[in-house]
Structure 1
Amino acid sequence: MVVGYIIDFVIVAGLIVGITALNGHISHFIGYRFFGGSRKNLHSDQTHKTQAGWKLVGGKR
């Protein structure tokens, strides 16, 4: 009796956590894909513009 309750609780808790975690990714994908328009690369383009002309440092190249 108690073991069945614990198994059911673990299954429901796992589903709640899993659905909650996936909800953020799914809504981000929908917003990015369908409502991003021409501004999809706005932040990465600005980063590349900012870093243009910087010296490469680190590593053994």
Structure 2
Amino acid sequence: MGEYIMDVAIVALLVIGITATVGVITNGIGTGLFGGKNKNEFVVQSNKIQTNWKSVGGGKGK
């Protein structure tokens, strides 16, 4: 019975992992092929918002 539960758990993890991976890959391909001029829309907006923010952490003597 323990082996059966372990097999089901392994198959479930593989199905979830493969599904997630295929989703990310498909999204990347779709954005690259069909994104047009708006494919970086969210990155550009995020960079606009973060313009002139102060840098924090990581530096000595700042």
More helix by share: 1
TM value normalised by structure 1: 0.57
User: How many positions carry a matched residue from both structures?
Assistant: 59
Structure 1, unpaired ranges of 5+: none
Name 2:12's counterpart in structure 1.
Answer: 13
Gaps of 5+ in 2: none
Normalized against structure 2, the TM-score is what? 0.57
Q: Identity over the aligned pairs, expressed in percent?
A: 41
Larger Rg: 1
Superposed CA RMSD: 2.5
Q: Which runs of 4+ in 1 moved over 3 A?
A: 46-52, 54-61
